[in-house]
C-alpha cells in the first residue's frame, strides 16, 4: 500500500532538473556580465541569485511536485505572510550581494504585492469557476502597476533591471491564482514532452523566419554603419542585441533592461 502511494506521487526530479539547467545557463552569463559592466563579483553573484530565485518562484506553481508541496505548507499557516515573504526573497538576495538595500524599495514591493492576495483573503470568491469582481480588481491592479512603472528603479545595479519587475508581477499573479484563489483549469503548467518541445521549436522557427526580418525591415532594431576596407558600407547589428530602441521611444526589455525607462 505504501509503495502504491509513492508511485502516485508527482516526481520531484523534473523541478530539480529544471532549476539545475536554469542555474547553469545563468552561470554562463555571469562572466560576460561582470566584464561588461565592470562590477564586483559579489554584486554579480547577488544579481545572479536574485534572478535565479525569481525564476524558481515563477516555475514553482507550474510543476505538480512543488505546487502540491507549497499548498501543504501554507494550508494551516498564515498564508498571506508566507506569500509576501517568499516574493521578497529575490530582492533580499539582490540587496545582500549588491549592497543596494533600500527600505523604500522593500515598501514598494510589498505595496505592489499585498493588495491582490489581501482582496482574495478578506473577500473570498464564492464561485471559483466564474470571473468575479475580485478578479477584475486584480487584473486592473496588475495592468496599472505595469503601465505606470511602479517597480522601476528597484533593481538598479548595475543598471535598471526592468525585466525583474515583469518577473515579479508574473510571480505574484501565478501564486495568487494557483494558491490564494485557485482558478479551475488555469493551464499554468510546465511539462517536458515531445509535444511541448515541438511547439517550442516551431515558435522559435517562426520567430526567426518572420519576426526578425520584419523587425529589421521596419527599422525596429537599430543598425550601425561602420566602414571597412574596400568600397561600400558594412551594416551590423549592435553588439548588445537584443537590447534595442524602437523609433517610438519605447525601450524593449533585455539584458541591460535600460535605465531610462523611468
- Per-residue pLDDT, 116: 94
Q: Angle 13-37/64-74 helices, nearest 10 degrees?
A: 90
Distances (CA, A) of 220 to 215, 241, 249: 5, 12, 11
Helix (H, G, I), strand (E, B) or coil at 32: helix
100-108 own/partner pairs: CB under 8 Å, 24+ apart: 100/156, 100/157, 105/153, 105/154, 108/150, 108/151, 108/154
pLDDT at position 119 is 94
pTM, entire model? 0.70
* List of E strands, the chain: 223-227, 233-237
d(CA 87, CA 109): 9
Instruction: Give the SS3 label for residue 237.
Output: strand
Q: DSSP states of 122-158 as a string?
A: HS--S-TTS--HHHHHHHHHHHHHHHTTTTTTSS-SS
Instruction: Return the pLDDT at 159.
Output: 76
Does residue 154 contact residue 163 with C-beta atoms inside 8 Å? no
| Grid cell of 147 as nine digits | 503601465
Cβ atoms of 175 and 113 closer than 8 Å? no
Q: How far apart are the first and last CA of the chain?
A: 59
pLDDT of residue 104: 92
Mean pLDDT by 10 residues, the chain (262 residues): 44 84 85 82 89 92 89 80 92 92 93 94 90 94 91 84 88 93 85 77 84 75 47 40 38 37 38
pLDDT of 35 reads 82
Q: Which residues contact residue 163 at a Cβ distance below 8 angstroms, ignoring those fewer than 6 apart?
A: 253, 254, 257
**Measured distance CA(63)–CA(113) in Å, rounded:** 22
pLDDT at 250: 34
Amino acid at each position: 500500500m505504501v509503495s502504491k502511494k509513492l508511485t502516485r506521487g508527482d516526481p520531484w526530479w523534473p523541478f530539480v532538473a529544471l532549476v539545475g539547467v536554469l542555474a547553469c545557463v545563468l552561470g554562463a552569463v555571469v562572466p560576460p556580465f561582470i566584464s561588461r559592466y565592470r562590477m564586483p563579483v559579489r554584486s554579480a553573484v547577488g544579481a545572479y541569485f536574485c534572478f535565479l530565485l525569481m525564476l524558481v518562484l515563477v516555475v514553482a506553481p507550474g510543476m505538480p511536485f512543488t505546487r502540491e508541496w507549497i499548498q501543504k505548507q501554507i494550508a494551516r499557516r498564515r498564508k498571506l505572510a508566507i506569500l509576501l515573504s517568499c516574493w521578497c526573497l529575490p530582492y533580499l538576495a539582490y540587496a545582500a550581494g549588491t549592497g543596494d538595500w533600500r527600505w523604500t524599495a522593500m515598501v514598494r514591493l510589498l505595496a505592489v504585492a499585498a493588495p491582490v492576495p489581501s482582496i482574495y483573503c478578506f473577500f473570498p470568491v464564492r464561485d471559483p469557476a466564474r470571473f468575479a469582481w475580485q478578479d477584475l480588481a486584480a487584473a486592473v491592479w496588475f495592468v496599472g502597476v505595469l503601465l505606470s512603472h511602479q517597480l522601476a528603479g528597484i533593481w538598479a545595479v548595475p543598471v535598471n533591471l526592468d525585466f525583474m519587475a515583469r518577473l515579479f508581477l508574473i510571480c505574484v499573479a501565478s501564486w495568487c491564482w494557483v494558491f490564494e484563489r485557485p482558478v479551475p483549469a488555469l493551464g499554468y503548467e510546465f511539462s517536458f514532452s515531445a509535444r511541448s518541445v515541438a511547439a517550442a521549436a516551431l515558435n522559435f522557427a517562426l520567430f526567426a523566419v518572420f519576426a526578425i526580418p520584419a523587425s529589421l525591415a521596419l527599422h525596429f532594431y537599430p543598425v550601425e554603419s561602420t566602414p571597412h576596407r574596400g568600397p561600400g558600407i558594412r551594416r551590423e547589428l549592435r553588439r548588445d542585441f537584443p537590447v534595442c530602441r524602437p523609433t517610438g521611444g519605447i525601450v524593449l526589455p533585455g539584458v541591460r533592461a535600460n535605465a531610462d525607462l523611468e
